[in-house]
Amino acid sequence: MKHRLIIIFPMLALLVFFAVQGFMIISIWKQEKENTLMRYESLTREATSVLLRAKKFNGFEKAMDITDKFAGLVVEEKLPELSRKADTANLKEKVLSQTYAILQKNEVLSSFINEYIKKKGYSTDYKSFIWISYLSLLSEKGQFIIADTVPDKDKIKKTIIVVNTYKEEHNNFVIEYSFLVDLTEINSLVFRKAFFSILLITFSVLIVVLIFWLTLRNLMEERRLSGLKSDFINNMTHELKTPLSTITVAGRTLEKPQINTDPDKVLETAKMISKQSVNLNQLINTILEVSLLERTEFELDRHKVNADELTHQIVSSYLTSCDGCATIREEYKAPGTLVAVDIVYFTTMINNLLANAVKYCDKDPVIIVSTGVADNEFHVSITDNGIGIPHEHIDHIFDKFYRVPHGNIHKIKGLGLGLYYVKRIATAHGGDVSVSSRPDRGSTFKIRIPI
Ligand code: ADP
């Protein structure tokens, strides 16, 4: 529960952090959008007033002259002909679209604004257009209204700027029109402006995520190691208790007066005590060696030896010491190969692998010890017909204190140090150890040492 909280709280903090950063990006975006709109609004208005001040000109003079002529013609030729409603509608539509075409073709304001904005160093990624809200033709009979629309402010897009609205009366027509700039493409402009800030925020988010991930990974590793350590302490206590309790029982046996009459029993008990003391001593030595290994680097006392011969000697003495506990087939394929090894450590390595091959076997152990030379390396493989190692544990078995859980952890005794020791010795020799295994079929451990 406590461990879960350790993960849940930072996760929540990370989520809050994401939310804050997301909020910041949105705010920056909104702010930048507003700024851009305001900037373009003032730029376009500035441009129109500059044009008016400098040239006494609003940019629509020519367009208005042409429209006036066009309006005059319409008034003269078309208006008297109108009889039906449909004709009126048709004429209005034509006159309006024609007026739009004249204005667009002959106005010079948009190109002036474009130049002005470009000169100020801003992008011209926008569209400008004219909107006629009122147009009427002036005839002798009175006004003939072509268009009269009140703009619905809510319907005008927020990205449209009304630069200026003009009301003019000429000989043949009255008009009210606006010059507008459409900044629908504003997002790309805003993105260019806000890019650096967004990049910085994204970068900081990535860094925080990375740090978070590394911390979490370390935390998990710490948890795993502390779990392994407590397993180790349990196993070690158990391993130490077994020989100690045998010795205690043997001591009590020797205390009994009637034992004096049975010298065989005395001898048997003494042998038991000495065997268990050896076991105890070996156990303590293993623990001491490993803790020593942790503190100091290996100091190897390397000698060039005939690798096949040394391996054979180790296998033979192992068989003797374990009273022929296994059938071992030896296949030596590196005759005469000399390897520089620390004989004591090399022996420990092979012994550990042989002991595991016997220990983790649920039938009569049959072991194959084979050697060879490849790529300038001497290799020795130990193959067994044991219980094998489940795939998910393979990557961890060389870790310190790691033991594959076998249901009841104490059923097969061990401290999870043997393979760790093998790996460290092999790498100290400049080589390595690898394993391939299939559950219920057996395992092969292969040590490689450079020649
Ligand atoms: P220990 O034997 O003390 O548990 P080791 O470091 O020697 O520690 O081995 C680590 C684990 O690897 C063992 O717990 C065991 O599950 C597995 N293992 C090692 N050698 C073999 C083998 N030959 N066959 C099956 N499993 C093995």
Residue type, position 345, single letter: Y
- Non-local (6+) Cβ contacts of 304 within 8 A are 338, 339, 340
Q: Which ligand 1 atom lies nearest to the CA of residue 442? A: 24
Ligand 1 pocket residue status of 193, Cβ below 6 Å? no
pLDDT per residue as tens digits for the range 283-314:
888 777 777 666 666 678 899 999 999 999 99
Task: Estimate to the nearest angstrom the gap between the alpha carbon of 279 and the chain centroid.
Answer: 49
Minimal-distance CA residue to ligand 1 atom 14? 403
Mutation test residue for ligand 1: of 403, 410, 433, 438, the one with most atoms within 8 Å of CB: 403
Ligand 1 pocket residue status of 404, Cβ below 6 Å? yes
| Mean pLDDT confidence for 342-369 | 93
Q: Tell me which H or E stretch contains 243.
A: helix 186-255
Ligand 1 pocket residue status of 442, Cβ below 6 Å? no
pLDDT per residue as tens digits for the range 203-230:
999 999 999 899 888 988 888 888 878 8
| Mean pLDDT confidence for 429-438 | 95
How close is the Cα of 337 to the center of ligand 1, in Å?
30
pLDDT per residue as tens digits for the range 62-78:
999 999 999 999 998 88
Task: Estimate to the nearest angstrom the gap between the alpha carbon of 225 and the chain centroid.
Answer: 24
Local confidence band at 407 (pLDDT 50, 70, 90 cut-offs): low
How far is the C-alpha of 149 from the C-alpha of 132, rounded, in Å?
8
Residue 295 has a pLDDT of: 65
Minimal-distance CA residue to ligand 1 atom 23? 357
Q: Which ligand 1 atom lies nearest to the CA of residue 416? A: 8
Minimal-distance CA residue to ligand 1 atom 2? 414
Task: Output the CA–CA distances (angstroms, integers) from residue 403 to 3, 205, 225, 230, 418, in the order listed.
Answer: 23, 39, 12, 12, 10
Cβ 116 vs Cβ 50: under 8 Å: yes
Residue 2 has a pLDDT of: 60
Token pair, residue 444, equals 């092969």
Find residue 167's DSSP bridge partners. Answer: 176
Residue 3 has a pLDDT of: 64
Query: Lowest-confidence range among 51-55, 155-159, 360-364?
Result: 155-159
Q: Which ligand 1 atom lies nearest to the CA of residue 352? A: 7
Ligand 1 pocket residue status of 414, Cβ below 6 Å? yes
pLDDT per residue as tens digits for the range 327-352:
999 999 999 999 999 998 999 899 99
Q: What percent of the chain has pLDDT over 90?
A: 51
Minimal-distance CA residue to ligand 1 atom 12? 397
Ligand 1 pocket residue status of 422, Cβ below 6 Å? no
How close is the Cα of 346 to the center of ligand 1, in Å?
18
Residue 376 has a pLDDT of: 93
How close is the Cα of 325 to the center of ligand 1, in Å?
17
Q: Which ligand 1 atom lies nearest to the CA of residue 398? A: 6
How close is the Cα of 388 to the center of ligand 1, in Å?
9
How far is the C-alpha of 135 from the C-alpha of 167, rounded, in Å?
10
Residue type, position 201, single letter: I
Residue 367 has a pLDDT of: 96
Ligand 1 pocket residue status of 400, Cβ below 6 Å? no
pTM: 0.56
Give the SS3 label for residue 402: coil
Residue 296 has a pLDDT of: 65
Neighbours of 229 (CB within 10 A): 13
**Conformation bin of residue 56: beta by default, left when phi > 0, alpha when psi is -120 to 50:** left
Residue 408 has a pLDDT of: 44
Ligand 1 pocket residue status of 109, Cβ below 6 Å? no
| Mean pLDDT confidence for 49-53 | 89
Local confidence band at 173 (pLDDT 50, 70, 90 cut-offs): very high
- Non-local (6+) Cβ contacts of 3 within 8 A are 223
| Mean pLDDT confidence for 255-276 | 86
- Non-local (6+) Cβ contacts of 237 within 8 A are none
Give the SS3 label for residue 358: helix
Query: Lowest-confidence range among 144-158, 269-283, 352-366?
Result: 144-158
